[in-house]
Amino acid sequence: MTDDRRLRVALLGAGSVGSQVAALLLRHGDELADRAGARLDLVGVAVRDLDAPRDTDIPRELLTTDAETLLVGSDIVIELMGGIEPARTRLLQALNAGADVVTGNKALLATHGPELFEAADQVGASVHYEAAVAGAIPIIRPLRDSLAGDRVQRILAIVNGTTNYILDRMDLEGADYADVLADAQRLGYAEADPTADVEGYDAAQKAAILASLAFHTTVPLDAVHREGITQVDAALIESARAAGYVVKLLAVCERRTDEGREAISVRVHPALVRRTHPLASVHGANNAVFVQAEAAGDLMFYGAGAGGVQTASAVLGDVVSAARRHIAGGVGVGESTRANLPLLPIGRATTRYQITLEVDDRPGVLATVAGILADGNVSIATVEQRIIPGDGTARARLVIGTHIALEQDLGDTVERLASSGVVDRVASVLRMEGD
């Protein structure tokens, strides 16, 4: 029934993900044809080097280094090259020619998404990108379609497998950051240059994409506050453990009322997560997206956030969706950005904080600290004093948990504490999320 309907599929890139997509397209042709309503003919695979080793067997005659010519006449273009150029130019070409596109390229979407969506709108085509956030985990379609009738309030997400792997091993083994990073590089979890992962750039791109979808608002990458995990050390992990928390690199996308108007806050940073929270049980390189919606309540999406064949699953789901639209006709579903909510700077974010101070253990210190917090509009929820053993002087570590405070107030207060004369050292300030 589907054999008379054929769609031309061009694949750009045959690396970790693209090679698996090619193999699955060729291996499961009959099943995919049944589901898509048309036979999906892989007409070619663009690569840089025809002779480079591949993870799967791709017929040599399909390989080409001429991506531009390959696109011509294609119904669906799958982009798995990565990077901004030439991916951006090739996708615009494909869209302008009326093809639907499928991409896993979060860097491109986070920086040039609106340009691609606009090009798709002009011709009634669509841009599919399930693989761009959290690899194999279905989260783009749930946010775009399944929750389209609800109001998302908050997303807390572990969207970078490398940093979750590092923090998880530090937590489980009490190991040092540098040792675990070196191990992660040896095992292939982390790149030789780990900056994109450990400094939070990769997670920030994914946060921008998630927040744009969840809040129907274009969220530019430079509106996402970003902090990485390079300052997280074994002592901090141990102190979190002692307080019943685990440290996770979180993408936080939040709707809140700020000075009487609805606005959104999007940020990536290490955070304390209570050990009983579902996100605390996300181990190794796995990802999870915890969504809080007004009507649906709490939802969690969990699984492999990367990996060639795992990510290929998300790509092929998009290819089938794109094929169905081609067969059914009509215009593709565009991005919904009409809410156009204002984006808050990090100073206007609100959350709870854990402040750890090293102080002399003498009368009046706690009262002075409490006074500075009160003056700064930061309300104390918990205080714990731990004696610092062994150096002969009476010194203590004060671990203060706050109620919800404004980031700007908290920052000013910590500065006043640091220069107050009663605090030897501000050992750490961590946001507490998900309570």
User: 155, 322 in Cβ contact below 8 A?
Assistant: no
Structure-token pair, residue 63: 């390989």
Distance (Å, whole) CA 297 – CA 161: 26
Is 248 known to sit in a ligand binding site? Answer: no
Name every residue whose Cβ is closer than 8 Å to that of residue 406 and which is 6 or more positions away in sequence.
Answer: 347, 348, 349, 350, 377
Site residues (CB under 6 A) for ligand NDP, limited to 18-47: 18, 46-47
Structure-token pair, residue 434: 């998900």
Q: Which stretch binds ligand HSE (CB under 6 A): 27-35, 158-166, 238-246, 329-337?
A: 158-166
Which x/- pattern over 292-311 shows residues binding ligand NDP (rule: CB under 6 A)? Answer: --------------xx---x
Least distance between ligand NDP and beta carbon 335 (Å): 19
Q: Which is nearer to ligand HSE, 75 or 202 (CB)?
A: 202
Site residues (CB under 6 A) for ligand HSE, limited to 133-152: 135
Q: 210 phi and psi, to 5 degrees?
A: -60, -45
Q: State the binding partner of 264 from ligand NDP, ligand HSE, none, CB within 5 to 8 A by kind.
A: none
Find the farthest-apart pair of alpha carbons in the chain and give their distance in angstroms, rounded: 86
Q: State the binding partner of 104 from ligand HSE, ligand NDP, none, CB within 5 to 8 A by kind.
A: ligand NDP
Least distance between ligand NDP and beta carbon 301 (Å): 15
Structure-token pair, residue 66: 């001429």
Least distance between ligand HSE and beta carbon 73 (Å): 31
Q: State the binding partner of 162 from ligand NDP, ligand HSE, none, CB within 5 to 8 A by kind.
A: ligand HSE
Going edge to edge, which strands form the sheet with 100-103? 63-64, 39-46, 6-12, 76-79, 100-103, 127-128
Q: Centre a 10 Å sphere on the Cβ of residue 363 and count the other Cβ atoms it contains.
A: 6
- Residue 49 near ligand NDP by CB under 6 A: yes
- Residue 15 near ligand NDP by CB under 6 A: yes
- Collapsing DSSP to helix, strand or coil, 317 comes out as helix
Q: Which stretch binds ligand NDP (CB under 6 A): 48-56, 93-101, 164-172, 326-334?
A: 48-56
Is 17 known to sit in a ligand binding site? Answer: yes
Least distance between ligand NDP and beta carbon 72 (Å): 16
Q: Which is nearer to ligand NDP, 64 or 96 (CB)?
A: 64
Distance (Å, whole) CA 40 – CA 2: 10
From start to end of 144-260, where are the E strands? Answer: 152-158, 225-226, 245-258
> Any bridge partners for residue 386, and if so which?
397
Q: Which of 90, 128, 154, 206 is catalytic?
A: 206
Is 98 known to sit in a ligand binding site? Answer: no
User: Does the active-site annotation cover 248?
Assistant: no
User: 416, 138 in Cβ contact below 8 A?
Assistant: no
- Residue 168 near ligand HSE by CB under 6 A: no
Side-chain-facing half-sphere of 166: CA atoms under 13 Å: 31
Distance (Å, whole) CA 361 – CA 261: 44
How far CA 269 is from CA of 107, 163, 227, in Å, comes to 18, 11, 5
Distance (Å, whole) CA 376 – CA 351: 15
- Residue 161 near ligand HSE by CB under 6 A: yes
Which x/- pattern over 76-95 shows residues binding ligand NDP (rule: CB under 6 A)? Answer: ----xxx---x---------
- Residue 162 near ligand HSE by CB under 6 A: yes
Side-chain-facing half-sphere of 331: CA atoms under 13 Å: 10
Least distance between ligand NDP and beta carbon 102 (Å): 11
Q: Which is nearer to ligand NDP, 105 or 428 (CB)?
A: 105
CA 14 centroid distance within chain: 24
- Residue 160 near ligand HSE by CB under 6 A: yes
> Any bridge partners for residue 42, and if so which?
9
Closest CA to 251 of 209, 283, 284: 209
Which residue from 14, 282, 306, 423 is in contact with ligand HSE, where contact means CB under 6 A?
A: 306
Structure-token pair, residue 139: 């989260």
Which residue from 44, 270, 305, 308 is in contact with ligand HSE, where contact means CB under 6 A?
A: 305
Which x/- pattern over 182-211 shows residues binding ligand HSE (rule: CB under 6 A)? Answer: ---------------x----x---------
Distance (Å, whole) CA 317 – CA 34: 13
Which x/- pattern over 90-129 shows residues binding ligand HSE (rule: CB under 6 A)? Answer: ----------------------------------------
Q: Centre a 10 Å sphere on the Cβ of residue 274 and count the other Cβ atoms it contains.
A: 16
Binding site for ligand NDP (CB under 6 A): 13-18, 46-49, 52, 67, 80-82, 86, 104-106, 131, 135, 306-307, 311
Q: Which residues are annotated as a binding site for NADPH?
A: 106
Q: Which residues are annotated as a binding site for L-homoserine?
A: 191
Binding site for ligand HSE (CB under 6 A): 135, 160-162, 197, 202, 305-306
- Annotated catalytic sites, by residue? 206
